């Protein structure tokens, strides 16, 4: 008899657990996503990045703006109160991953046991290219770098201000980003290179594991800076204009500036030199 009572009690308990589970599932399913978040595609380096452990980590969290949920005939829009937002997001699996993810959304206006689900897509970087190199690509000895005892360049920091990239994502989306707004942009030396010599050198902009080359000039103290016709350690359209004016006799470039204007190294200063300077300025040429 006792065994029979135990079996009946166990059966009743099991039935209760099953019923409660079904009821819980039904409650969760009653939360409807009327309008999903405005942004459900998240881009690497802008919305997320890999952390040191190689896991996907959000940058600033997921923006739930635009979300509208409905539960038990009550409709709630996403909003931020004086202290907290009224909706929160989390990964349904416990962690985020590259590709499509199921996201849980809970709402402070609903019971804590209920939630809605929607899909977000984490998109990775496919390739990058340079739009504009850093503003400072002429690096002066004694200011930006030092000469080592072996005669090569020693430097540890590079000012990337002004650097901008065209970033292509795996879904075909293209975004333009700049170092001024995104400090995930970095730089590196070429692979396998242990040292650099004074003069023009290729360095790489890096972003989310991708790289793109740009050129800097490690200018030695006594070296000529070809293309600089006014001594401001910049090469721009003003220098090209000065070359043209010198070539027609309107002005005279003297001393080292006369030498530096002859970027073609043919012993003449003419429109070809001005053209080379302009091509360098817009990136068609990488050296002068």
- Residue located via tokens 């204009």: 241
Is the pLDDT at 48 greater than 50? The verdict is yes
| pLDDT single digits (tens) 117-149 | 999 999 999 999 999 999 999 999 999 999 999
pLDDT of residue 29: 52
Same fold, 125-222 and 224-288: no
Angstrom distances, CA of residue 260 to CA of 121, 134, 268, 284, 288? 53, 22, 11, 19, 10
Cβ–Cβ < 8 Å for 213, 202? yes
Domain coordinates in residue numbering, the chain = 30-123, 125-222, 224-288
CA distance 136 to 147: 19
Q: Which fold has domain 30-123?
A: Immunoglobulin-like (2.60.40)
Specify the DSSP element, H or E, that contains 43: strand 41-43
CATH number of 125-222: 2.60.40.3630
Is the pLDDT at 15 greater than 60? The verdict is no
Sheet holding 125-132, edge to edge: 125-132, 164-169, 174-178
Assign 19 a pLDDT band (cuts: 50, 70, 90): very low
pLDDT of residue 17: 39
Rounded average pLDDT over 172-197: 95
Is the pLDDT at 83 greater than 70? The verdict is yes
| pLDDT single digits (tens) 229-283 | 999 999 999 999 999 999 999 999 999 999 999 999 999 999 999 999 999 999 9
Which of these CATH numbers, 1.10.10.1100, 2.40.30.10, 2.60.120.260, 1.10.1330.10, describes 224-288? 1.10.1330.10
């Amino acid at each position: 008899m006792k065994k029979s009572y135990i079996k009946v009690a166990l059966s009743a308990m099991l039935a209760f657990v099953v019923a409660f589970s079904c009821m819980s599932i039904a409650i969760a399913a009653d939360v409807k996503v009327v309008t999903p978040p405005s942004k459900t595609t998240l881009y690497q380096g802008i919305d997320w990045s890999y952390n040191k452990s190689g896991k996907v980590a959000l940058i600033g969290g997921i923006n739930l703006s635009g979300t509208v949920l409905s539960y038990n005939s009550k409709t709630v829009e996403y909003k931020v109160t004086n202290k907290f937002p009224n909706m929160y997001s989390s990964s349904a699996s416990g962690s985020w991953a590259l590709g499509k993810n199921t996201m849980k959304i809970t709402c402070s206006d609903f019971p804590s046991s209920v939630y809605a689900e929607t899909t977000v897509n984490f998109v990775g970087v496919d390739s990058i290219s340079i739009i504009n190199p850093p503003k400072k690509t002429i690096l002066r000895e004694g200011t930006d770098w030092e000469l080592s005892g072996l005669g090569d360049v020693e430097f540890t920091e590079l000012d990337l201000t002004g650097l901008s990239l065209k970033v292509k994502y795996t879904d075909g989306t293209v975004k333009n980003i700049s170092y001024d707004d995104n400090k995930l942009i970095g730089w590196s030396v070429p692979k396998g290179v242990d040292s650099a010599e004074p003069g023009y050198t290729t360095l790489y902009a890096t972003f989310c594991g991708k790289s793109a080359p740009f050129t800097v000039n490690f200018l030695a103290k006594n070296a000529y800076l070809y293309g600089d016709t006014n001594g401001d350690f910049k090469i721009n359209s003003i220098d090209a204009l000065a070359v043209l004016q010198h070539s027609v006799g309107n002005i005279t470039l003297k001393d080292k500036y006369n030498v530096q204007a002859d970027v073609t190294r043919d012993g003449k200063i003419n429109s070809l030199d001005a053209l080379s300077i302009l091509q360098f300025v817009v990136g068609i040429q990488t050296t002068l």
